[in-house]
Structure 1
Amino acid sequence: MTVALQQTLLVPAVPVLPAQLGVSSTVVSWAVTSTLLTGAIATPIISKLSDNLGRRRMLLLAMAITLLGSILAPLGGATLLIIGRALQGVGTALVPVAMAQMRDSLPAHRVPGALSILSATLGVGGGIGIPLGGAITAAFNWQALFVVSALLSAASMALIIAVLPATAPRQGHRFDFGGAVLLSLGLVALLLGISQGNAWGWGSFATIGAFLVALLALAAWGAIEVRVADPLVDLKTSAIQQILLTNIASFLMGLLMFTNLLSTTIELQNPVARGGFGWSTTAAGMAMLPNALAMFVVAPLTSNLARRIPANRILIIGAVVTALGYALRLIPVTSGFWLVGWATIIGFGVGIGYAALPMLIVRYAPSHQIGEANGVNALVRAIGTAVASSMVATIVAAFADSGSINTAVMTISIVAIIVAIITMGVAYGAQEGSEE
């Protein structure tokens, strides 16, 4: 919850930071991008180390770095803010390690329910970050956001120390430094191209160059991984049909979740004259609370459902509900409260899908690679959210000259429906019957 909250807590303050820090909005945007980049690098590395060195050590390391970032970010100007946010991004790696810890610590019949609730906290944390961040910024200042982050990080570390058991490191395993460097380079280049493509221009030298570097680095990384004895990511495990399709579904669900968050707040905040509803930033942020609550409420229901039907069918149900929510958004409405209702239905669907994803990973990944497998799954979900951000920005910009936000939102909704349908097909392909 703490890690997910920090991903969106700063968002409401971004518009006021350029004036307060005396820098351009482009510089401030790196406070958001840096978190994404370091999270992408840290997730597979810390997940792998958790399999070899122990979950508790890596959980504490990730949260300690997050705490350090929370302390540094408000102490100076834009440079310290960006560095602090980059350090906070390392906390993203905590999520897959926590999922692996649940598999290690709990009896088998409790794992699905625990994973459902943990997955739900990702949506809840991200959902409440915007309204909470807006309220804190309005009542105090942007520096207070990092005070809250620091307190939550410190409390999390205390709980990890008090509750989680220590485990002995696995012997005889070397860390794949070459694979880590190439994967980090490839992911940074890929995410830079995705996140900055709209600002740089999709046909610009910088964007094309970033994608080219990503392609070459990831290709070299893949060639190395199949040859080393103890790879950073076991591509043979990742190629197992159920694991591969679950990772694809994770990317698609991440895209659907963040698209809902962005498109809803954009439509609510746009002026009435442009087809929006003219809500304030704070009101639009508060409007996402029902969406976050929906994701949390659905978690125990999903865990009960998992005792009766396979996890891939739960994922299909989540995709169906998500598609229904986006289909309802195609209906013209005169009140923003209807839009909040449709966004909440999407939240229910995404919550169901999110709960199913770690169940599939835990079921099919080898026990000694649970942290690594969950790390890859969390990584592709983060890439999905980055793609969602660029997709929404690109579509909104493409229809900016029309003078109305409605066409852009309808286009986004149609694309999301198609993505949800694809997710249903991917989930069907991950059916447990193929294990036989």
Structure 2
Amino acid sequence: MTETSMTEASMNRAGAPASRSSGTAAPFAALLVAVLSFSLMQTMVVPALPDLQREFDASPTAVSWVLSSFLLTASVATALLGRVGDLFGKRRVLIASLGVFAVGTLLAALSGSLALLIAARAVQGVGSAAFPLAFGIVRDAFPRERVPVAIGLISATFGIGFGVGLVVPGPIVAALDWRWIFWSGLVVILLGIAAVTAFVRESAVTSPGRIDWTGAALLGAGVVTLLLAIGQGTPWGWTSGPVVGLFVAAAVLLMVFVYAGKRTDDPLIDLGLLLRPAVLTSHVTAFIIGFGMYGAFTLVPLLARTPPAAGYGFGASVTGAGLFLLPMAVTMLIAGPLAGRIGAAVGWKPPLVLACLIGVAGFAVYAGAHDSEGAVYAGSAVLGIGVGFAFAALANLVVGAVDPGRTGEATGVNTVMRTIGGSLGAQIAASLVASRTVPGTRFPAESGYTAAFVMSAVALGVAALAALAGPVGLRNRPPAPEPAPGRSAAQECTERA
């Protein structure tokens, strides 16, 4: 058993460390604000893309890098900083990542060129480390019985911020201009930094070791190259030389990363950890869930904004289109904690499988009844339950399957897997929608949306099968037993290991 596991066992026997014995409401609220600040800024810029295109007289491809640059650096930072937090303290690294996030947001608000805005968004992506670090802090500092529900709420906050970020910018841009999206986001980030600094204590659980810079460089290059290939698949063509070359380069870089990791004593990502059945199940399922679910965040507002003259759509404004996702945010807020309670009682396989099946139902409503506003609202509400269950179950599954000193690393990888799956799914969904247009117009044909929604439903059905293939006992591990009289904690832990 690892040193950190023995530390946790001794803390459990004593009752609780100091941070557990104090109240958890204020630290938890601080973590929610920190996580919300990141999830909001992921999508708040999306409704402003047309304004940015006019402001900088840029092409749609150039403006798309405002989103892509954020995604690329976020994917690298999530994996790297999750591990750094395990090594040097999760609170310390969380505050540092939020500080970099604030600097990037300030630069974005002050940007006078598209190039500077893209660079600022790349700096912002570092804030993505908030998710694995928040999960790790909850696992280290909160009473064990509260961990599943707390993780469920944090997971739900991701989707809530994602959805709300598509609604709020409309009125802001209409009343002021696009820069105020970043000024308002900066306020939330600074509140998050202040709250974490004031209320969150540093965890005593760390994992001794060093940073594998070679592994970090290889993993970062591999993930960035892979996401570039996915992102450019539609505009360049999936079988074009540059896209195929990027996929090949990504495969080579990731294989070298695996090879180098086997030859170092302290790899950035413990490959043996990834192959544990519960962890492997969560990563594979996260990839497929991301593939299936992320299209809804962009396709539903686009469908809602399509004028009825195209034969479908509701002609909604930017703000009105975002409102179609609000039921998803509401049901996620309820579903995340509920999934935590269910998983804590019966294990994480049931809520994870149920999440996928509920997602299938939500996309079935989108596919079969998107000519009715009420049906789209209902589909969003149903899908929100599935997303809330899925995010909560995945996070809890990973946290319960690894040692405390590897929580940031494992949850970081899970987030990256979901991001890669989501990027791929969103690109393929966009290709399906754009494949045909209404004759005599520039609007996509309705059949493209139907095909994309059906694809997402099928993907979530496959995700349910992947979750079913996982081990039966997917549940958080129970507290360490008391040592026998006259025997030390170290002796008990060593023998159990």
TM-score band by shorter chain is: over 0.9
CA distance in 2, matches of 1:114, 1:170: 21
Per-residue Cα deviation, 1:367-406 (whole angstroms, up to 9, x for no partner): 2211100000111111122112201211012123667632
Q: State whether structure 2 residue 332 is matched by structure 1 residue 292.
A: no
1:10 corresponds in structure 2 to 45
Per-residue Cα deviation, 1:229-284 (whole angstroms, up to 9, x for no partner): 01001111001111011011112222333112222112211222322222222210
2:320 corresponds in structure 1 to 283
Distance 1:334 1:41, change over 3 A: closer
TM-score where L is the length of structure 2? 0.84
2:177 corresponds in structure 1 to 141
The SS at the match of 2:167 is helix
The SS at the match of 1:130 is coil
1:40 corresponds in structure 2 to 75
Q: State whether structure 2 residue 382 is matched by structure 1 residue 345.
A: yes
Of the candidates 314, 329, 353, which is equivalent to residue 316 of structure 1?
353
CA distance in 2, matches of 1:265, 1:371: 33
Q: State whether structure 2 residue 70 is matched by structure 1 residue 70.
A: no
CA distance in 1, matches of 2:318, 2:305: 7
The code of the aligned residue for 2:299 comes to S
The code of the aligned residue for 1:98 comes to A
Distance 1:173 1:414, change over 3 A: same
Per-residue Cα deviation, 1:406-432 (whole angstroms, up to 9, x for no partner): 211221122112111111111112233
2:467 corresponds in structure 1 to 427
1:190 corresponds in structure 2 to 226
Per-residue Cα deviation, 1:29-74 (whole angstroms, up to 9, x for no partner): 1111000000011111101101100001110111001000011112
Of the candidates 211, 215, 221, which is equivalent to residue 247 of structure 2?
211
Q: State whether structure 2 residue 415 is matched by structure 1 residue 378.
A: yes
TM-score where L is the length of structure 1? 0.96
CA distance in 2, matches of 1:29, 1:203: 21
CA distance in 1, matches of 2:386, 2:178: 33
CA distance in 2, matches of 1:169, 1:433: 26
The code of the aligned residue for 2:75 comes to A
CA distance in 1, matches of 2:426, 2:169: 19
Of the candidates 403, 406, 412, which is equivalent to residue 452 of structure 2?
412
The SS at the match of 2:346 is coil
Matches within 5 A, 1:100-179: 100-167=136-203, 173-179=209-215
Per-residue Cα deviation, 1:142-193 (whole angstroms, up to 9, x for no partner): 0001101111111111011111112469585121011011111101100001
| Paired residues of 2:72 and 2:227 also in contact (CA < 8 A) | yes
The code of the aligned residue for 2:418 comes to R
The code of the aligned residue for 2:47 comes to P
Distance 1:172 1:365, change over 3 A: closer
Q: Aligned-pair RMSD on alpha carbons?
A: 1.8
The code of the aligned residue for 1:252 comes to I
The SS at the match of 1:166 is coil
| Paired residues of 2:148 and 2:337 also in contact (CA < 8 A) | no
CA distance in 1, matches of 2:120, 2:86: 27
Per-residue Cα deviation, 1:169-220 (whole angstroms, up to 9, x for no partner): 9585121011011111101100001112111221222211211110110110
Of the candidates 20, 24, 32, which is equivalent to residue 59 of structure 2?
24
The percent identity for this pair of structures is: 32
The code of the aligned residue for 1:310 comes to G
User: Which of the two has greater helix per residue?
Assistant: 1
Structure 1, unmatched stretches of 5+, are none
| Paired residues of 1:63 and 1:153 also in contact (CA < 8 A) | yes
The code of the aligned residue for 2:174 comes to A
Report deviation, 1:333.
5.2
CA distance in 2, matches of 1:99, 1:166: 14
CA distance in 2, matches of 1:423, 1:128: 26
> Which stretch has the larger CA shift, 311-320 or 123-132?
311-320
Distance 1:401 1:213, change over 3 A: farther
Aligned residues: 436
Distance 1:136 1:231, change over 3 A: same
CA distance in 1, matches of 2:66, 2:134: 26
Report deviation, 1:114.
0.3
Deviation above 6 Å: which 4+ runs of structure 1? none
Of the candidates 360, 364, 383, which is equivalent to residue 401 of structure 2?
364
Report deviation, 1:285.
0.9
Structure whose alpha-carbon radius of gyration is higher = 2
Distance 1:356 1:127, change over 3 A: same
CA distance in 1, matches of 2:69, 2:77: 12
Distance 1:428 1:71, change over 3 A: same
> Which stretch has the larger CA shift, 186-195 or 416-425?
416-425
CA distance in 2, matches of 1:125, 1:92: 13
